[in-house]
Copies of this chain bind each other. A is one copy, B any other.
Amino acid sequence: MKKENVSDAVIRRLPRYYRQLSELKARGQVRISSHSLGQEMNITASQIRQDLSCFGEFGQQGYGYNVEELHTEIGHILGVDNHHHLIMIGAGNLGHALMHNFHFQEAGFTLDAAFDVAPAVIGTQINNVPIFSMDELDGYVHSHSVDVVVLTVPQSVAQSLTERLVHLGIHGFWNFTNVEITCPNPDVRIESIHFADSLLTLSYRIANR
């Protein structure tokens, strides 16, 4: 499988393909042409073929793609079968929302535990996820496999907490704090969801339509 120098734009389209193929699968569709897939996603057929060519050969001339096969292949490329483990730091409103509503399993992740400083939640479970004290964090990380930490903490502690976790050996962060977190370690991967950036993009589009 070819995978060198895949651009950020291509990587960000992969989950969209995966999501679209999940929907097609759910609708019972067996095969789809790159043209039809492109129409559903507002992408050109040649873009799709070019994106997928970064990862191997998919589809057949005149037949198109087998929906289930391509779904499985892209899932494999995305690592959904890698059984990643994550823990969450910050069991406040957003943490609650994610624990109750987000389907971690569908992305191949298991949320094993959450950590917080509030005595009211420590020792409880939220949607079967046990909430521990922050004092127990180091011990937990030393004795469990943790691939990703979900950061749903206040902005003010995001950077220092990340540094503490990198020091503990954590190399993956899913950052909801709306601040840019930096890390000099090239092995560390940080993926941020910036709500404000998204709303400002919408603001721009409304102002300029």
Contacts and interface: CB of A to CB of B under 8 A. Distances in A.
A45 interface: no
A100 B171 CA distance: 30
Contact of A93 (B11, B96, B204): B96
A154 to B, nearest CB: 9
Contact of A189 (B197, B200, B205): B205
A84 B200 CA distance: 11
B209 A187 contact: yes
Contacts of A106: 196
Nearest to A147: B206
B195 A15 contact: no
Interface string A186-209: 010101011111111111111111
Main secondary structure of the interface of A (DSSP, over half): helix
Contacts of A59: none
Nearest to A12: B201
B84 A206 contact: yes
Q: Which of A9, A148, A201 neighbours the largest number of chain B CB atoms within 10 Å of its CB?
A: A201
Contacts of A94: 94, 97, 101
Interface string A14-49: 111011100000000000000000000100000000
A174 interface: yes
A107 to B, nearest CB: 5
Given A82-B207, A148-B206, A193-B195, A200 B93 contact: no
Q: Which 4 A-B pairs have the closest CB atoms?
A: A79-B207, A93-B97, A15-B197, A191-B202
